[in-house]
Amino acid sequence: MAFGLLSALIAVPAVTAVAIAVVPRGDHRSVRLVALAGSTLTLALAVAMLVRFSVGEAGFQFEEVRSWVPQYGITYRLGVDGVSLLLVALTALIMPLSVLAAWHQQDRATGFFAALLGLEAALIGLFCALDLVLFYVFFEISLVPMYALIGIWGGADRRYAAVKFFLYTLVGGLFMLIGILYVYFDTGATSFDYTVVLERLSLTDTEQFWLFLTFFAAFAIKVPLFPLHTWLPDAHTEAPTVGSVILAAVMLKIGGYGFLRYSLPMFPDATVRLAPVVLALAIVGILYGALVATMQRDIKKLVAYSSVAHLGFVVLGAFALDPTAAAGSVVQMVNHGITTGTLFLLIGFMYERTHSRAIAEHSGLLKAAPVFGGLFLLTTMASIALPGLNGFVGEFPILLGAYQTVPWAAVLAAFGVILAALYLLWAYQRMFHGPVEGHAVGMADLNPRELAVVVPLVVLMLAIGLYPDPLYDRVNPSVEAIVAEVQAATDIASTGQDAR
Amino acid sequence: MSVLAQLPIPLPLQAMDFPWAAISPELVLFGVGLLVLLLDTAGEQRLATSFSAMGVLLVGAGAAVYFGETFGTREYVLCALVGLAGVLQFALTALWHDRPRTLGAILTALGFAGALGVTGWQWLVSSDPGLLFDNAAIVGTDSVLGDMFAVDGVALFTRFTVCISGLLTIPLGFSYAEERRIHRGEYYPLLLFAATGMTLLAASADLLMVFISIEVLSLSLYILCGFARRDLNSQESALKYFLLGAFSSALLLYGVALVYGVTGSTNIAEAGRAFAALDADRGLVITAMALLIVGLAFKTSLVPFHMWTPDVYQGAPTPVTGFMAGATKAAAFAAFLRIFVGAFAPLQWSWSPAIATLAVLTMLVGAVLAVVQTDLKRMLGYSAIAHAGYILLGLLSVTRAGISATLFYLLIYTFMSLGTFGVLALLERRTQKAVTLDDLRGLGRRYPFPAGLFALFLLSLAGIPGTAGFIAKFAVFRAAIEADQVGLVVVAVVSSVIAAFFYIRVIVAMFMDEEPVNEEAPGTGVVLAPLESTTGTSFGLAVAAAAVVAFGVLPGALVDLARQAASLVG
- Nearest residue on chain B to A168, judged by CA atoms? B497
B284 and B226 Cβ atoms separated by less than 8 Å: no
Q: Is A181 on the interface with B (CB under 8 A)?
A: yes
Q: What is the pLDDT of residue B136?
A: 39
Tens digit of pLDDT for each residue in B1-30?
A: 444 445 455 444 444 556 667 788 888 898
Residue B491 confidence class, pLDDT cut points 50, 70, 90: very high
Residue B89 makes CB contacts below 8 A (sequence gap 6+) with B35, B38, B39, B42, B50, B53, B54, B57
Interface residue of A136, A159, A164, A210 to substitute, partner B, most B CBs within 10 Å: A159
- Quickly count: other Cβ atoms within 10 Å of residue B127's Cβ: 17
Q: Is B162 on the interface with A (CB under 8 A)?
A: no
Q: Is A305 on the interface with B (CB under 8 A)?
A: no
Residue B139 confidence class, pLDDT cut points 50, 70, 90: very low
Q: Is B514 on the interface with A (CB under 8 A)?
A: no
- Give me chain A's average pLDDT, please: 88
Q: Helix or strand or coil: residue A346?
A: helix
Domain count, chain A: 1
Closest listed residue to residue B374, CA positions, set B434, B322, B305, B297: B434
Evaluated on CA atoms A361, A366, A370, A374, the torsion sign reads positive
Q: Classify residue A200: in a domain, yes or no.
A: no
Residue A45 confidence class, pLDDT cut points 50, 70, 90: very high
Interstrand relation of A74-80 and A61-69 (parallel, antiparallel or unpaired) = antiparallel
Is 50 exceeded by the pLDDT of residue B325?
yes
- Give me chain B's average pLDDT, please: 82
Q: What is the pLDDT of residue B470?
A: 93
Q: Is B496 on the interface with A (CB under 8 A)?
A: yes
Percentage of chain A with pLDDT > 70? 97
DSSP string, B292-314: HHHHHHHHTT-TTS-THHHHHHH
Q: What is the pLDDT of residue A219?
A: 92
Q: What mean pLDDT comes out for the span B99-126?
A: 85
Enumerate the residues of chain A whose CB falls inside 8 A of the CB of residue B497: 167, 170-171, 174
Report CB contact under 8 Å: A181, B475: no
Indicate the residue type of A376: F
Regarding predicted confidence, which is higher, B89 or B541? B541
Q: What is the spatial distance between Cα A26 and Cα B469, in angstroms, rounded to a whole number?
A: 31
CB pairs under 8 A between A and B: 84
Q: What mean pLDDT comes out for the span B440-465?
A: 88
Q: What is the spatial distance between Cα A125 and Cα A8, in angstroms, rounded to a whole number?
A: 10
- Distance from the A202 Cα atom to the nearest Cα atom in chain B, whole angstroms: 17
Ordered alpha helix ranges (H), B22-152:
24-67, 73-96, 100-126
Q: Helix or strand or coil: residue A398?
A: helix
Interface residue of B446, B471, B474 to substitute, partner A, most A CBs within 10 Å: B474
Beta partners for residue A438, in sequence order: A362
- Distance from the B508 Cα atom to the nearest Cα atom in chain A, whole angstroms: 7
Q: Helix or strand or coil: residue A131?
A: strand
- Distance from the B208 Cα atom to the nearest Cα atom in chain A, whole angstroms: 37
Give kind and range of the element (H or E) at residue B320. Answer: helix B318-323
B505 and B373 Cβ atoms separated by less than 8 Å: no
Domain that holds residue A315: 267-495
A297 and A358 Cβ atoms separated by less than 8 Å: yes
Supply the DSSP symbol for B338: I
A129 and A138 Cβ atoms separated by less than 8 Å: yes
Is 90 exceeded by the pLDDT of residue B432?
no
Is 60 exceeded by the pLDDT of residue A482?
yes
Q: B425: phi > 0 → left, psi -120 to 50 → alpha, else beta; which?
A: alpha
Contacts 24+ apart (CB under 8 A), B346-355: B346/B272, B346/B275, B346/B276, B347/B272, B347/B275, B347/B276, B347/B285, B347/B289, B348/B398, B350/B282, B350/B285, B350/B286, B350/B289, B351/B289, B351/B293, B352/B396, B352/B398, B354/B289, B354/B290, B354/B293, B355/B293, B355/B392, B355/B395, B355/B396
Closest listed residue to residue B248, CA positions, set B296, B210, B197: B296
Report CB contact under 8 Å: A151, B478: no
Residue B563 makes CB contacts below 8 A (sequence gap 6+) with A71, B400, B404
Report CB contact under 8 Å: A140, B465: yes
Is 80 exceeded by the pLDDT of residue B63?
no
Q: What is the pLDDT of residue A314?
A: 92
B358 and B398 Cβ atoms separated by less than 8 Å: no
Q: What is the spatial distance between Cα A365 and Cα A279, in angstroms, rounded to a whole number?
A: 39
Q: Classify residue A274: in a domain, yes or no.
A: yes
Regarding predicted confidence, which is higher, B125 or A72? A72
B157 and B394 Cβ atoms separated by less than 8 Å: no
Q: What is the pLDDT of residue B43?
A: 59
Q: What mean pLDDT comes out for the span B90-103?
A: 69
Tens digit of pLDDT for each residue in B188-242?
A: 999 999 999 999 999 888 899 999 999 999 999 999 998 888 888 888 888 989 9
The domain spans of chain B are 12-108, 140-567
- Distance from the A69 Cα atom to the nearest Cα atom in chain B, whole angstroms: 5
Residue B74 confidence class, pLDDT cut points 50, 70, 90: low
Q: Classify residue A380: in a domain, yes or no.
A: yes
Percentage of chain B with pLDDT > 90? 32
Is 50 exceeded by the pLDDT of residue A1?
no
Is 70 exceeded by the pLDDT of residue B525?
no
Q: What is the spatial distance between Cα B293 and Cα B240, in angstroms, rounded to a whole number?
A: 20
Q: What is the pLDDT of residue A191?
A: 86
Q: What is the pLDDT of residue B131?
A: 43
Enumerate the residues of chain B whose CB falls inside 8 A of the CB of residue A137: 465-466, 470
Output the CA torsion A38→A40→A42→A46 (10° steps): 180
Report CB contact under 8 Å: B464, A143: yes
Tens digit of pLDDT for each residue in A166-180?
A: 889 898 999 999 999
Q: What is the pLDDT of residue A202?
A: 83
Q: What is the pLDDT of residue A493?
A: 58
Q: What mean pLDDT comes out for the span B555-561?
A: 86
Q: What is the pLDDT of residue B518?
A: 55
Report CB contact under 8 Å: A162, B501: no
- Distance from the A177 Cα atom to the nearest Cα atom in chain B, whole angstroms: 9
* Choice among A182-196, A247-261, B51-65, B320-334 with the minimum mean pLDDT: B51-65
A303 and A340 Cβ atoms separated by less than 8 Å: yes
Report CB contact under 8 Å: A178, B512: no
Q: What is the pLDDT of residue B474?
A: 92
- Distance from the A324 Cα atom to the nearest Cα atom in chain B, whole angstroms: 36
Q: What is the largest CA-CA distance in chain B?
A: 96
Contacts 24+ apart (CB under 8 A), A54-57: A55/A473, A55/A474, A56/A473, A56/A477, A57/A477
Tens digit of pLDDT for each residue in A50-81?
A: 888 888 888 888 888 888 888 888 889 999 98
Q: Helix or strand or coil: residue A64?
A: strand
Q: Out of A143, A144, A177, whose CB is closest to B477?
A: A177
Q: Is A65 on the interface with B (CB under 8 A)?
A: no
Enumerate the residues of chain B whose CB falls inside 8 A of the CB of residue A158: 512
Q: Helix or strand or coil: residue A227?
A: coil
Q: What mean pLDDT comes out for the span B346-354?
A: 86
Residue A126 makes CB contacts below 8 A (sequence gap 6+) with A135, A138, A139, A142, A254
Sort B528 into a burial class: Cβ within 10 Å, 0-12 / 13-18 / 19+: middle
Q: What is the pLDDT of residue B350?
A: 84
- Distance from the A346 Cα atom to the nearest Cα atom in chain B, whole angstroms: 26
Report CB contact under 8 Å: A133, B474: yes
Q: What mean pLDDT comes out for the span A397-415?
A: 89
Residue A86 makes CB contacts below 8 A (sequence gap 6+) with A330, A331, A333, A334, A471, A474, A475
Q: What is the spatial distance between Cα A308 and Cα A296, in angstroms, rounded to a whole number?
A: 14
Q: What is the spatial distance between Cα A170 and Cα A363, in angstroms, rounded to a whole number?
A: 41
Q: Out of A152, A163, A177, whose CB is closest to B511?
A: A152
- Quickly count: other Cβ atoms within 10 Å of residue A418's Cβ: 10
Tens digit of pLDDT for each residue in B355-410?
A: 999 999 999 999 999 988 888 999 999 999 999 999 999 889 888 888 999 999 99
Q: What mean pLDDT comes out for the span B536-560?
A: 90
Is 80 exceeded by the pLDDT of residue B137?
no
Task: Supply the ipTM of this predicted assembly.
Answer: 0.89
Q: What is the spatial distance between Cα B26 and Cα B29, in angstroms, rounded to a whole number?
A: 5
Q: Classify residue A484: in a domain, yes or no.
A: yes
* Choice among A125-129, B167-171, B336-340, B528-532 with the minimum mean pLDDT: B528-532
Closest listed residue to residue A340, CA positions, set A315, A365, A307: A307
- Quickly count: other Cβ atoms within 10 Å of residue A452's Cβ: 14
Q: What mean pLDDT comes out for the span A463-469?
A: 90
Is 70 exceeded by the pLDDT of residue A499?
no
Output the CA torsion B92→B96→B102→B107 (10° steps): 0
Report CB contact under 8 Å: A163, B563: no
Ordered alpha helix ranges (H), A201-267:
205-222, 231-238, 241-246, 253-258, 264-266
Q: What is the pLDDT of residue A129?
A: 92
Q: Out of B464, B489, B556, whose CB is closest to A178?
A: B489
Q: What is the spatial distance between Cα B121 and Cα B444, in angstroms, rounded to a whole number?
A: 43
Is 70 exceeded by the pLDDT of residue B552?
yes
DSSP string, A443-494: -----HHHHHHHHHHHHHHHHHHH--HHHHHHHHHHHHHHHHHHHHHHHHHH
Q: What is the pTM of this model?
A: 0.90
Regarding predicted confidence, which is higher, A27 or A302? A302
DSSP string, A402-428: HHHH-HHHHHHHHHHHHHHHHHHHHHH
- Distance from the A297 Cα atom to the nearest Cα atom in chain B, whole angstroms: 27
Residue B76 confidence class, pLDDT cut points 50, 70, 90: low
Evaluated on CA atoms A206, A212, A215, A216, the torsion sign reads negative
B22 and B93 Cβ atoms separated by less than 8 Å: no
Sort A29 into a burial class: Cβ within 10 Å, 0-12 / 13-18 / 19+: exposed
Q: What is the spatial distance between Cα B23 and Cα B149, in angstroms, rounded to a whole number?
A: 9
Q: Classify residue A53: in a domain, yes or no.
A: no
Closest listed residue to residue B272, CA positions, set B536, B569, B470, B567: B569
- Distance from the A264 Cα atom to the nearest Cα atom in chain B, whole angstroms: 23
Report CB contact under 8 Å: A141, B465: yes
Report CB contact under 8 Å: A136, B513: no
Q: What is the spatial distance between Cα A164 and Cα A228, in angstroms, rounded to a whole number?
A: 11
Residue B520 confidence class, pLDDT cut points 50, 70, 90: low
Q: What is the pLDDT of residue B5?
A: 47
Tens digit of pLDDT for each residue in B470-485?
A: 999 999 999 999 888 8
Is 50 exceeded by the pLDDT of residue A496?
no
- Nearest residue on chain B to A70, judged by CA atoms? B556
Within 207-246 of B, beta carbons closer than 8 Å to A belong to none
Q: What is the spatial distance between Cα B133 and Cα B137, in angstroms, rounded to a whole number?
A: 9
* Choice among A34-48, A145-159, A470-484, B91-105 with the minimum mean pLDDT: B91-105
Residue B532 makes CB contacts below 8 A (sequence gap 6+) with B429
Q: Out of B478, B512, B559, whose CB is closest to A162?
A: B512
Report CB contact under 8 Å: A182, B466: no
Tens digit of pLDDT for each residue in B143-169?
A: 566 677 888 888 889 999 999 999 999
Q: Write the CA distances from B285 to B141, B288, B346, B348, B476, integer angstroms.
A: 25, 5, 12, 11, 28
Indicate the residue type of B211: F
Q: Which residues of A143-174 are buried (b: 16+ CB within 10 A; e: fewer)?
A: bbbbbbbbbbbbeeebbbbbbbbbbbbbbbbb
Q: Is A69 on the interface with B (CB under 8 A)?
A: yes
